[in-house]
Structure 1
Amino acid sequence: MKVLIVFSSSELGGAERSLSRMAIASQEVDYRLATLYGEGPWCDWICSQGREPLVLGRGRANGGLMLGAFWRLIQHVHSHPVDVIYVCGARAALLLRLLRIFLPSVKLVHGVRWNPDSNSRLDRFFRLVERFMHPLVDAWITNSAIAKQTLVSRCGIPTERVFVIYNGLESLPAGVPPLSERPLEVLTVANLNPRKGHREYLQVVRDVLKAVPDAKFAFVGRDDMNGEVQQAIAEAGLSGHVSCEGFQADVSPWFRRARVFVLPSLWNEGCPTAILEAMSFAIPCVAFAMDGIPELVEDGDHGILLQRGDYSGMTAAIIRMLTDDGKASKLGIRGRKRVHLHFSLENTAALHSVAFNKVLLSSSE
């Protein structure tokens, strides 16, 4: 079975990283990895993994989607036939379904990597498109059960055409130091984006420092806000306590140092790979109980989940994780075990193979 995974970005975000790892590790499906943009960090990373990416865009700038990239995609599929196109990105999925007339024998699977349940303009448009145009898609793969629920209940998509497959990690990191031996560092791995809640989270940082003045906070991720977060850090007088590390292809050094992992996202989460990675390093996680996060972290067992917007509760949770080594270590160890048992890359790859086979089988019946 040949599957072409098509990303609508050449950045190295959570979706690009997790699905590419799955494709590289798969033994059952012949995957090809493509981007509709030009060269970018994802392309460089794929090359470092010993694979050659299919670059359909031009240049290195990630501007708007170009029709030329879709035409090159169609030409590539005609010269290198595939059974399934697995596309990630709402706009890319919309255009591909409109161009299916040129690919009559190829099945189209839409990867939905977030819960499209918010009232944002993008999510409202997404739900409208899916409601009226879902017959042009053969199947959907979500990485959270809550996202499937949204597709079924709010978009009218038949439940049997939506598969839930969580992200997975290849293996547990070895030589992980005990939490008590790590510095008082609180880690957030997420691109600097309004929906990730970095600016709002700074009030929590300020309050935590009143109780734990030696604490340090690290933000790792691409800056999509043109320096707004860094400016807010400086204006709050937190420059000596909060560092913005930018995009990092390898985040493991930060995970090895972190005592607590915090994801302050406000909406649109599916199955954050960063949370799974933190749990694999035996780090207790603190986040809001929204979208797909409660499907990964059970409150009180692997971390602490708060109601969205409960910043005083988040402050208290971080302080406790920094000062109660026994409790923090217990949550971290349980989280690491949970990742090992339920979120392996091998299982993710196997479930994708099953889903694609069902899609191909249903079309032949």
Structure 2
Amino acid sequence: MKVLIIFTSSELGGAERSLTKMAKAAADSTPGIEYFLGTLDGVGPWCEWAEAIGMSPFVFGKRQGRHGRFGLSAVLGATRFVRENKVDIIYILGFRSSVFFRLLRGFMPGVKVVQGIRWNPNSFSKLDVWFRRVERYAHRVTDGYITNSIAANNTLQQLGVPADKLVTAYNGLDAIPSASELAPASSPLVITVANLNYRKGYEPYLFAISKVVEAIPIAKFVFLGRDDLGGVIQSRIDSMNLGSSVTYAGFQKDVSPYLRSASLMVLPSLYGEGCPTSVMEAMSYGVPVVAYAIDGVPELVESGKEGLLVEQVGDIDALANAITAILQSPDLRNELSKAARSKAEVCFSIANCCQSHEQFWNRIIYRTAQLAAYNGK
């Protein structure tokens, strides 16, 4: 069985990391499945990172200004690749690109088209509104959907997508840090691993930080991620006089040095999360998590056990109080840390991720074989 995983962007985000690692792990654990990896974007950080870990990504397009844009030539190039390499399943990450491939599926006879849903499309953003409008009908020409949260799975079922076309496969970690790799948090350092954009909630988060700093002046905050806002957050840090407390460290290919020294991880996203890889990675290092209880986050973090979740999105006081409570109580922090690491070891393995995908591929192929046999009677 041959599967092409195709990303719309060549930036290095959670989806790119987790699914590339899954494909690499599957090469050793599931020899019956051959994975190809490709992008509709031009060469980018993901390509370099994938090559560094031993994978060979295919680049079907050229960078069209900012990342994530693609031309028809890229889609046609990927379609030609599918035909020439006799690919059985094309697994598409990106709503816009999935629309094109479904329109062109007539040029890929026998190929199964699967859309990966890495967020919960239930907000009032333009993307989510259009997604829901399209998928109410497009699911009829889609062979399957893989979500990385039950929350997203439920949203799709509400749109009328049949349950047998859906599976939830959580992201997987290829390795859990050994105890010797974990350094005890010696100072109140709080990290956030997320690209800087409005959905991730950085601006309101700064107001929560200002409240935390009032209570704990020595607390330090580090933001890690690509800047999609053109310096807006950095300017806000300066205007709020938080420069001595908050550092923007930019995009980092390897965030493990920050995780080793962090007391806490905060994900201030306001909507649109699926199964955040950054949360899972933090938990694997024994770093408790504070976040809003949105989308798939409560599926990873049980409030009061592996971290603290704030029920009301945008409740700055509650967010600040949760952060302060953990930083001021070493006993609470240690208790949450142990539970977080334990859960990551048991629940977030790359093997589980591989198995969930493999079972779904087999289900799709078997369902088609059954239908063909039925029609042949």
Q: Is TM > 0.5 for Structure 1 vs Structure 2?
A: yes
Match of 1:182 among 174, 182, 186: 186
Q: Secondary structure at the match of 2:80?
A: helix
Match of 1:328 among 333, 353, 356: 333
AA in 1 matched with 2:249: E
CA distance in 1, matches of 2:18, 2:78: 22
CA distance in 2, matches of 1:257, 1:182: 7
Q: Secondary structure at the match of 1:163?
A: strand
**Alignment CA distance shift 1:143-1:186 (3 Å):** same
Instruction: Give 1:178 deviation, angstroms.
Output: 5.2
**Alignment CA distance shift 1:320-1:176 (3 Å):** farther
Instruction: Give 1:63 deviation, angstroms.
Output: 5.8
Single out whichever of 60-69 and 304-313 deviates more from structure 2: 60-69
Q: Which residue of 1 aligns with 2:103?
A: 98
Single out whichever of 312-321 and 276-285 deviates more from structure 2: 312-321
Q: Secondary structure at the match of 2:36?
A: strand
Q: Which residue of 2 aligns with 1:114?
A: 119
CA distance in 1, matches of 2:93, 2:306: 29
Instruction: Give 1:314 deviation, angstroms.
Output: 1.2
Instruction: Give 1:78 deviation, angstroms.
Output: 1.7
CA distance in 2, matches of 1:315, 1:305: 11
Q: Which residue of 1 aligns with 2:258?
A: 254
Instruction: Give 1:272 deviation, angstroms.
Output: 0.3
Q: Which residue of 1 aligns with 2:20?
A: 20
CA distance in 1, matches of 2:113, 2:124: 27
On the 8 A contact 1:37/1:56 being kept in 2, the answer is: yes
Q: Which residue of 2 aligns with 1:132?
A: 137
Q: Which residue of 1 aligns with 2:374?
A: none
1:1-365 matches, within 5 Å, as 1-26=1-26, 27-28=29-30, 29-59=33-63, 61=65, 62=67, 64-153=69-158, 155-174=159-178, 175-177=180-182, 179=184, 181-307=185-311, 308-365=313-370
Q: Secondary structure at the match of 2:230?
A: coil
**Alignment CA distance shift 1:65-1:295 (3 Å):** same
Q: Secondary structure at the match of 2:86?
A: coil
CA distance in 2, matches of 1:24, 1:6: 15
Instruction: Give 1:11 deviation, angstroms.
Output: 0.3
Moved over 4 A (4+): none
CA distance in 1, matches of 2:44, 2:183: 36
Instruction: Give 1:116 deviation, angstroms.
Output: 0.2
Identity of aligned residues (%): 44
CA distance in 2, matches of 1:75, 1:120: 33
Instruction: Give 1:177 deviation, angstroms.
Output: 3.5
On the 8 A contact 1:40/1:60 being kept in 2, the answer is: no
CA distance in 2, matches of 1:301, 1:23: 32
CA distance in 1, matches of 2:211, 2:82: 55
What RMSD, in angstroms, separates the aligned Cα atoms of the two structures? 1.1
CA distance in 2, matches of 1:64, 1:87: 15
CA distance in 2, matches of 1:75, 1:106: 12
On the 8 A contact 1:187/1:217 being kept in 2, the answer is: yes
TM-score normalised to structure 1 length: 0.98
Instruction: Give 1:59 deviation, angstroms.
Output: 4.5
Q: Deviations over 1:269-288 (max 9, x none)?
A: 00000000010010111000
CA distance in 1, matches of 2:138, 2:318: 42
Instruction: Give 1:310 deviation, angstroms.
Output: 1.8
CA distance in 2, matches of 1:349, 1:143: 13
Q: How many residues matched? A: 363
CA distance in 1, matches of 2:177, 2:315: 32
Q: Which residue of 1 aligns with 2:375?
A: none
CA distance in 1, matches of 2:95, 2:290: 29
Instruction: Give 1:60 deviation, angstroms.
Output: 7.7
CA distance in 1, matches of 2:110, 2:50: 28
AA in 1 matched with 2:145: W
On the 8 A contact 2:151/2:296 being kept in 1, the answer is: yes
CA distance in 2, matches of 1:177, 1:211: 27
On the 8 A contact 2:202/2:268 being kept in 1, the answer is: yes
TM-score normalised to structure 2 length: 0.94
Flag structure 1 segments of 5+ consecutive residues without an equivalent: none
Q: Deviations over 1:62-113 (max 9, x none)?
A: 3622000011111111211111000000001011000001001110110000
Q: Secondary structure at the match of 2:43?
A: coil
On the 8 A contact 2:287/2:337 being kept in 1, the answer is: yes
On the 8 A contact 2:286/2:341 being kept in 1, the answer is: yes
